[in-house]
């Protein structure tokens, strides 16, 4: 059986399977390139951001995120932009940015999962329709040659084989892309916790410094009052 005969034996169902497989390959390659571009080492980014947070230099922290790029940097930037409005605003910004990045990263994975499920079904549908046609021919013209019957059944099974041949790589590709997305989201969550911890520590340090300054100022004022009181003599009585 030549390739042309093989394709013709599958009928329109095989054509659909081939078209779906082409789209699946395109989608997998596009998502793979996209996710690989988004992957980066965020350790250096966090060093710059944390240092800027400790120095209360918000502009430097935002600039570091802008220069680095990637989903983690975008999430951190969204949160840092809300830093002047307090911790609740920062946490809300984190949630919004993470949801947005998750939608961006997982785009295209659902169609791949659907294709991996429907391709075997399409193959089975092609086989069933092929078997129906074969047995209809037998009912009309008699059993005839057994070899010819086997040939017809073999042709009907082509679509099942084609569906499985395409579905298995699509399923593997979907799993691989899903693992890349999980790593990226895990890094975002890790850096989120790290940044929140540094923000809390920076705020605590600032309060301690403010308290110490107030204490020193209060002590100096009290000393000045004591000096003034010691320098004041009681007024002579009439």
DSSP 127-166: HHHHHHHHHHHHHHH-S--HHHHHHHHHHHHHHHHHHHHH
Q: What is the pLDDT of residue 81?
A: 92
Cα separation, 22 vs 198, whole angstroms: 48
Which carries the bigger pLDDT value, residue 200 or residue 224? Answer: 200
What number is the average pLDDT over the span 80-103?
Answer: 91
Q: What is the pLDDT of residue 151?
A: 66
Q: What is the pLDDT of residue 3?
A: 62
Cα separation, 107 vs 98, whole angstroms: 14
Q: What is the pLDDT of residue 235?
A: 40
- Name the band, by pLDDT with cuts 50, 70 and 90, for residue 213: low
Q: What is the pLDDT of residue 31?
A: 94
- Number of neighbours of residue 173 by Cβ within 10 angstroms: 21
In this prediction the pTM is: 0.75
Q: Which two tokens stand for residue 159?
A: 């679509």
SS3 117: helix
Whether 231 maps to a domain, the answer reads: no
Whether 93 maps to a domain, the answer reads: yes
Whether 142 maps to a domain, the answer reads: yes
% helix, strand, coil for the chain, step of 5:
90, 0, 10
Report whether pLDDT(123) > 70: yes
Q: What is the pLDDT of residue 230?
A: 32
Report whether pLDDT(33) > 50: yes
Q: What is the pLDDT of residue 201?
A: 83
* 85 DSSP assignment: G
Whether 232 maps to a domain, the answer reads: no
What number is the average pLDDT over the span 3-24?
Answer: 81
Report whether pLDDT(227) > 50: no
Residue 170: CB partners within 8 Å, gap ≥ 6? 21, 24, 28, 112, 115, 116, 119
Q: Are 72 and 188 in contact (CB under 8 A)?
A: yes
- Number of neighbours of residue 75 by Cβ within 10 angstroms: 27
Which carries the bigger pLDDT value, residue 238 or residue 85? Answer: 85
Whether 234 maps to a domain, the answer reads: no
Domain housing 50? 3-215
Which carries the bigger pLDDT value, residue 119 or residue 208? Answer: 119
Q: What is the pLDDT of residue 109?
A: 94
Q: What is the pLDDT of residue 84?
A: 87
Per the structure, the count of domains in the chain is 1
Whether 233 maps to a domain, the answer reads: no
Whether 115 maps to a domain, the answer reads: yes
Nearest to 159 by CA among 29, 20, 26: 20
H or E, element range at 11:
helix 3-38
Report whether pLDDT(34) > 80: yes
**What's the mean per-residue pLDDT of the chain?**
81
What number is the average pLDDT over the span 138-155?
Answer: 66
Whether 54 maps to a domain, the answer reads: yes
SS3 40: coil
- Name the band, by pLDDT with cuts 50, 70 and 90, for residue 87: confident
Nearest to 193 by CA among 42, 81, 34: 42
Report whether pLDDT(175) > 70: yes
Report whether pLDDT(211) > 90: no
Distance of CA 194 to the CA centre of its chain: 19
Q: Are 122 and 159 in contact (CB under 8 A)?
A: yes
């Amino acid at each position: 059986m030549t390739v042309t005969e093989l394709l013709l034996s599958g009928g329109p169902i095989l054509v659909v399977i081939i078209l779906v497989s082409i789209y699946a390959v395109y989608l997998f390659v596009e998502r793979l390139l996209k996710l690989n571009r988004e992957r980066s080492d965020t350790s250096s980014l966090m060093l710059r951001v944390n240092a800027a947070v400790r120095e209360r230099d918000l502009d430097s922290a935002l600039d570091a995120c802008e220069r680095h790029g990637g989903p983690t940097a975008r999430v951190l930037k969204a949160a840092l932009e809300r830093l002047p409005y307090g911790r609740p605003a920062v946490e809300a910004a984190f949630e919004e940015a993470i949801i947005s990045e998750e939608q961006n990263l997982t785009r295209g994975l659902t169609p791949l999962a659907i294709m991996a499920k429907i391709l075997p079904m399409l193959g089975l549908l092609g086989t069933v329709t092929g078997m129906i046609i074969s047995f209809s021919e037998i009912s009309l013209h008699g059993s005839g040659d057994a070899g010819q019957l086997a040939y017809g059944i073999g042709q009907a099974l082509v679509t099942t084989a084609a569906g499985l041949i395409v579905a298995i790589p699509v399923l593997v590709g979907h799993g691989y892309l899903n693992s890349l997305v999980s790593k990226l989201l895990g890094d975002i969550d890790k850096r989120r916790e790290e940044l929140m911890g540094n923000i809390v520590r920076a705020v605590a340090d600032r309060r301690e410094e403010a308290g110490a300054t107030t204490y020193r100022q209060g002590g100096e004022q009290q000393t000045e009052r004591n000096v003034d009181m010691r320098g004041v003599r009681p007024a002579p009585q009439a």
